């Protein structure tokens, strides 16, 4: 093989190596700037869904306690926001206002509230499963590209 052919071959190998390094950097940048960000956002959405589910479970438990103990009135602590609580006296426990979203509250009987909660739990569980699957797909993409 001539010296010229060997130099050409070395130059070609160097060029291919450089292209490969550029592709690796592109993939790493894609993983860091896109996939990891998407994964973080997806996990945050899932956490919010689980928080809402937790609130629904807590509300269901409180309603069931009121029903089982046949409480006609009760004292409770109400969160005014920012974890500031005040004591409240509930004179009539037969109805409850439930936040149904977008700042709207609906007055329900205890049984109606339990039905509403059950429906919401099914929806939130389904949504949580969808978001969990999306997170798993993103994790798989990250592993495949690493």
Q: Give the side-chain half-sphere CA count within 13 A for 22.
A: 6
Q: How confident is the model at residue 76 (pLDDT cuts 50, 70, 90)?
A: confident
3-state secondary structure of 104: strand
pLDDT single digits (tens) 85-122: 999 898 999 999 999 989 899 999 999 999 999 999 99
3-state secondary structure of 85: strand
Q: Residues with Cβ < 8 Å from 62, sequence gap 6 or more? A: none
Please state the domain count of the chain: 1
Task: Report the alpha-carbon distance of residue 53 to residue 49 in Å, rounded.
Answer: 6
pLDDT of residue 5: 58
Query: Which pTM does this prediction carry?
Result: 0.77
Domain residues for 141?
3-145
Q: Tell me, what CATH number does 10's domain have?
A: 1.10.287.370
């Amino acid at each position: 093989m001539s010296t010229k052919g060997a130099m050409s071959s070395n130059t070609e190998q160097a060029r291919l190596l450089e292209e490969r390094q550029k592709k690796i950097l592109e993939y790493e940048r894609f993983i860091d700037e896109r996939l990891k960000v998407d994964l973080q956002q997806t996990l945050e959405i899932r956490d919010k869904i689980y928080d809402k589910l937790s609130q629904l479970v807590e509300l269901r438990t409180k309603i069931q306690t009121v029903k089982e103990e046949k409480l006609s009135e009760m004292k409770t602590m109400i969160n005014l926001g920012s974890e500031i609580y005040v004591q409240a006296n509930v004179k009539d426990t037969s109805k409850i206002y439930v936040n149904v979203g977008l700042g709207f509250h609906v007055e329900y009987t205890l049984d109606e509230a339990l039905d509403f909660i059950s429906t919401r739990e099914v929806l939130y569980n389904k949504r949580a499963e969808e978001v969990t699957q999306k997170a798993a797909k993103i994790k798989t993409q990250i592993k495949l590209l690493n």
